[in-house]
Structure 1
């Protein structure tokens, strides 16, 4: 349960490769036309980007390092396009270079062997169309860039001849987007899959994304990493959290791992240097609010220490970053930043995901659920910001879960049917849990949770932790009306066996949650996991 900064691999440390630089600019390259129409929704869209890549020597246009290199494509979000305006008529030299704000990520990625590309979305920024949502437009712009890279790998071509011919590993593609760009890369993966375009997108990252497209899209089949800022004053309702909670259309289960990192004190803009006032670009701003703010330097380090490891882990099999995404360690340089992880593995045994209705007495496996009679609150609710059957509007996700309140020691027990009791193939018990902003759950009041496993023979083993502070389970971010976000508590099964080495994992009859003190929490996704 403890986390140590010294245990983590340094994902932001520059790698061994020289960094080559390049850019491309195809003006008025194509029209974005809605299906069934002949009238472009976005006419004359430019295809423009800056590139960093592993090279044989540092500098512009240097030969690409030997071998094939995974491709990571980034897309910025909505911002002014010309100085302090959304005009598209200013001279090219006066345009706001929104896409250059992620060079700090591109450089580190390139040094570790990635071809890293940041797209200039000038023509789809501040340019919403009724005929085609700007999220679909962003997604299709990303896919147009991928088509260019396929051509350059296959045959070469303008503007650099055969520089990248045979050097792009198109079987390992990652997408990253910030703000509306985050929703755009989700759309790109969805459209690629739905329309059978064939791009092998293997990982998607969204940074402080929106979730506004009426054509809701999901990322169920590839790993997904969501980076959220608690002090985001732009997407202040944290609507992007819904993209983590939703799995796929029709309720099918998530098929690849997904992770979410929630950062106290981080704002929306500082992930992009062009949007950060200290870099001197017109109309940059600090949109953050509340206490406990982190500096712009620390905020970019959070991004570098999570986004880069995500792509190294998913596209290069860098397994040493696994503990970081399980919340077991803190990345180098971030020991003073309050960060909370949620995670769902592709391989898991779901005891209760609370998505099968409002029956609080039966879990997802069909096992019986019982609770002691002294619980002040014991019921299932929609853990959302709006809609019917809410507990309160402080929740920012898109899930159904359990709310438990207590003022004296109480227990909650969820049983595994006989055919489901062998958990020896799993390595941990996990549950999502969050404290709720209510008078029944005052901050810094002593409260604790013990998690117990009971065997068919009645043997019980437990692990406990404190809920009073915010080390394991965050208290809601109190600014801007309060934000309740669930984090994943992951307990290695080995911890249960420390007190009982003979604990038989072949016959776990139930999971018991034992609460002490006074408190109010929301719970979701109780599961055994790899």
Structure 2
């Protein structure tokens, strides 16, 4: 459920014209050159290094050769020799370097500070904020801009406000003259007086375009076109400002000063979306329908103009798809569904329905293939793909008066929108309804368009459409030393997307991401008494994940399981060595993809993989010691773009803290008889980015690997919630495949699975308790009892590192149904409209106050403007009993609760999500209990 409200508008604006002539390898402008020396550098919109900034242009900056995976603060000042703090800065931004210590150029200063007719108070009368380009020129001409970059201290626990983190001295600086623009044409969206505008609400006012720097009297044509991240000569131009998005290009003549202002898009014809402006200089005879060499584009790497909608109330787009709940709030909106056993419901929250809406009380639910705003603008015909429309009441005093199944399972994999069509007449009965077969944005409701209405995903365990190629490589003792280890083999098995299935078949067309897996510690030799050097019957530990490799290969990913034979057996943990071995295999694959890189490696496959890898998309994983080694590989890496990390039952001997830039996923087997302290929970606790975990009740350590499972289990078969080896392997393979495909293939349908909101047959029916944290969040408490005010029969205390965690939690103990724990929301965090849930981690303790059977529950309340609304945890997530480990341990593993913010505004409750002043836990059922609570936050 994404769309609580959209009140944030892109703050970019049009920039001086320019057409990119080179092919772009970057999403946006083509950044063609990098400086040879480490530091921060400025470029123009074509990616070329600049030695002066034309006033009115946007400043783009990047860095090269700095510390990898580090947050840097960019400070910008005018006529400053240095910027030791933000007091002297005109503006600042923060960004994170990649594994090579680089940050691709981004916009640091929009339009040299020209904000135009922006009416936000913080932009009025502020230093170096200008209403127009003339004032900017007057103030800046002849001055110098200084930009410096400063490393920001890491936040190991993630509980320090970002602006409170220490910032170091400047690591790099440049100074750039600011110069007056005398002859370059400039075009930008404006109001009718020529004052620059970034955006406006759709259909509220006509859109104008202004230009300057043209020849006096010059004949021009102005087109409004869909936003494009890079413009090149010959690109197709499609003006969309006419009736039903048909072309309606405006002709205008520059005045005696070379300027113009002209209306280009009537309010009644506008469609929400993002747009660029193209001015055609007719004297150069530009080609019809294509971008000409001398055309002027309002484009840098920022957007020309945004037409936006404010909703939910009064807007034509809303959340509709979801699932029913028993009791208030009666319904949970959803963006993702499984293709089996997961019917799609539709419902209209009365909160969304505009006052005075002219449609009837009956309408039809259509499920249609997803279209973006431009596709909807060009084609608003409704073609239902769900087996037929549902004519149903869509206006009621409560959302559950409007809900109905709109697509019965099985569903088809894909992306869809939902339309509530009010038809050709006002219908107050089913018999009166008559469809008009079209989406009319003035009256109909739409779940989709600018975002996907909902997605349907197949079980991530299922094989995909690519034939599976098979191969392996092997050289004994290839590495004389890796750290403290000697004579380490270079060996792995491979599964890859192929043209036909089989051994050694050609690789499928295109480039493919790569997944690297490393096993953990186990026996290394089947023959007793033989050493690593003499063994004639090796244990093929790396072949224990073949179904996972098959799954990934069938979905277009090159999947590799490496043999850590020489680091296995009665040897040290060697996490550094294991992590380094993963990186060594990545060096090999870089060479296989491009023989000019890492030339000391053999080309095992005679060039079969040459040019077939996308080395910008790498995911690493591991099991047990290999599970910590995957984390080590990321932390030790300075060469490759490792984009995600995962672990099965890892050890935690090094105490690594994964930075905010890398997603992490870990599987915790609750009955682990090997890493019985569930050390992976600590890695999760320390990780600073988007992260997920699952606590699998009844799972053991060995059974995730088929070779290890054949050698025996590490936990008694009599354990509670016992899972067979086949089932446990399928669970692990499904979750690892989903995480990997999410981050390598951008299969975003699996994001909701990571959040615990999507269940597939491969793991349905098992006790799996997810934990999830998003980078985008507003934290209210990190486990400090002082953050809460207790009342009633409640006692609170801080507890440090409850097993198996490395974090501080609040222990909340209550003995009567009057108990409450209240968190007052700081003023700066009360606007929650850009977020989606109130979330926290919670675990039951072993206290006898908790229910003997079943799960714990309590009410979560939000308060704002004197209005209180609440719902129970059990509507959305489960707080289970601690798992009784068969070896006598009792771990209180924290699990996530994510309550949609929409639940609190359902049915016109009146609670203002832009001013939530209180979060309260009310312990009124069961009336006794004890829990640990951590990481209370508003989150996406």
Please, what TM-score do these two structures have when normalized by structure 1? 0.86
Larger mean CA deviation between 474-483 and 155-164 belongs to 155-164
User: Contact 1:74–1:177 at 8 Å: present in 2 too?
Assistant: yes
Say whether 1:408 aligns with 2:816: yes
Which runs of at least 4 in structure 1 moved beyond 6 Å after TM superposition? 1-5
**What is aligned with 2:712?**
284
SS of the aligned residue for 1:521 comes to strand
**What is aligned with 2:881?**
475
Deviation at 1:419, TM superposition (A): 2.3
Larger mean CA deviation between 499-508 and 510-519 belongs to 499-508
Q: 2:603 aligns with which of 135, 139, 158?
A: 158
Seen in structure 2, the aligned counterparts of structure 1 residues 93 and 69 have a Cα distance that, compared at 3 Å, is farther
Show the 5 A alignment for 1:164-175: 164-175=609-620
Deviation at 1:182, TM superposition (A): 0.2
Q: 1:382 aligns with which of 795, 800, 804?
A: 800
What is the distance in 2 between the residues matched to 1:339 and 1:85? 39
CA deviations on 1:7-36 (whole Å, 9 max, x unpaired) are: 3641111000000011001211113354xx
Deviation at 1:300, TM superposition (A): 1.1
Say whether 1:204 aligns with 2:204: no
**What is aligned with 2:858?**
449
What is the distance in 2 between the residues matched to 1:102 and 1:505? 46
Show the 5 A alignment for 1:21-420: 21-34=470-483, 41-83=484-526, 87-89=530-532, 93-126=536-569, 128-129=571-572, 134-155=574-595, 157-192=602-637, 197-213=638-654, 216-220=655-659, 221-247=661-687, 254=688, 256-277=689-710, 283-288=711-716, 290-354=719-783, 360-362=785-787, 369-375=788-794, 377-384=795-802, 395-409=803-817, 410-420=819-829
**What is aligned with 2:460?**
11
SS of the aligned residue for 1:175 comes to strand
Deviation at 1:91, TM superposition (A): 5.5
SS of the aligned residue for 1:430 comes to strand
What is the distance in 2 between the residues matched to 1:89 and 1:153? 31
User: Contact 2:644–2:662 at 8 Å: present in 1 too?
Assistant: yes
5+ unaligned residues in a row in structure 1: which ranges?
Answer: 35-40, 248-253, 278-282, 363-368, 385-394
User: Contact 2:482–2:488 at 8 Å: present in 1 too?
Assistant: no
What is the distance in 2 between the residues matched to 1:329 and 1:230? 21
Seen in structure 2, the aligned counterparts of structure 1 residues 446 and 263 have a Cα distance that, compared at 3 Å, is closer
CA deviations on 1:193-235 (whole Å, 9 max, x unpaired) are: xxxx22110010100111123xx21222300000110111111
Say whether 1:463 aligns with 2:871: yes
Seen in structure 2, the aligned counterparts of structure 1 residues 447 and 57 have a Cα distance that, compared at 3 Å, is closer
Deviation at 1:398, TM superposition (A): 0.6
Higher relative CO (Cα under 8 Å, sequence separation at least 6) belongs to: 1
What is the distance in 2 between the residues matched to 1:478 and 1:12? 29
CA deviations on 1:379-421 (whole Å, 9 max, x unpaired) are: 111133xxxxxxxxxx201110100011101111101122221
SS of the aligned residue for 1:448 comes to coil
SS of the aligned residue for 1:341 comes to strand
Deviation at 1:439, TM superposition (A): 2.5
Deviation at 1:445, TM superposition (A): 7.3
SS of the aligned residue for 2:674 comes to coil
The root-mean-square deviation of aligned C-alpha atoms, in Å, is 2.1
User: Contact 1:68–1:168 at 8 Å: present in 2 too?
Assistant: yes
Deviation at 1:446, TM superposition (A): 8.2
CA deviations on 1:478-512 (whole Å, 9 max, x unpaired) are: 23221110100001111122254432111000100
Seen in structure 2, the aligned counterparts of structure 1 residues 113 and 460 have a Cα distance that, compared at 3 Å, is same
User: Contact 1:32–1:137 at 8 Å: present in 2 too?
Assistant: no
SS of the aligned residue for 1:209 comes to coil
**What is aligned with 2:918?**
510
Seen in structure 2, the aligned counterparts of structure 1 residues 490 and 92 have a Cα distance that, compared at 3 Å, is same
User: Contact 2:867–2:910 at 8 Å: present in 1 too?
Assistant: no
Seen in structure 2, the aligned counterparts of structure 1 residues 102 and 301 have a Cα distance that, compared at 3 Å, is same
User: Contact 1:372–1:411 at 8 Å: present in 2 too?
Assistant: yes
User: Contact 2:856–2:878 at 8 Å: present in 1 too?
Assistant: no
**What is aligned with 2:188?**
none
Deviation at 1:86, TM superposition (A): 8.4
User: Contact 2:855–2:880 at 8 Å: present in 1 too?
Assistant: no
Say whether 1:524 aligns with 2:934: yes
User: Contact 1:404–1:521 at 8 Å: present in 2 too?
Assistant: yes
Please, what TM-score do these two structures have when normalized by structure 2? 0.49
What is the distance in 1 between the residues matched to 2:517 and 2:748? 23
What is the distance in 1 between the residues matched to 2:570 and 2:854? 49
User: Contact 1:50–1:119 at 8 Å: present in 2 too?
Assistant: yes
SS of the aligned residue for 1:508 comes to coil
Deviation at 1:304, TM superposition (A): 1.7
What is the distance in 2 between the residues matched to 1:164 and 1:310? 25
What is the distance in 1 between the residues matched to 2:646 and 2:702? 17
SS of the aligned residue for 2:937 comes to strand
What is the distance in 2 between the residues matched to 1:298 and 1:120? 25
What is the distance in 2 between the residues matched to 1:447 and 1:160? 57
What is the distance in 2 between the residues matched to 1:29 and 1:284? 32
Larger Rg belongs to: 2
Deviation at 1:237, TM superposition (A): 1.6
**What is aligned with 1:250?**
none
Larger mean CA deviation between 443-452 and 141-150 belongs to 443-452
Deviation at 1:99, TM superposition (A): 0.2
What is the distance in 1 between the residues matched to 2:756 and 2:855? 24
**What is aligned with 2:834?**
425
SS of the aligned residue for 1:140 comes to helix
Structure with greater proportional helix content: 1
5+ unaligned residues in a row in structure 2: which ranges?
Answer: 1-324, 326-331, 343-456, 597-601
Deviation at 1:149, TM superposition (A): 0.4
Larger mean CA deviation between 134-143 and 25-34 belongs to 25-34
User: Contact 1:274–1:284 at 8 Å: present in 2 too?
Assistant: no
Seen in structure 2, the aligned counterparts of structure 1 residues 519 and 415 have a Cα distance that, compared at 3 Å, is same
What is the distance in 2 between the residues matched to 1:96 and 1:86? 14
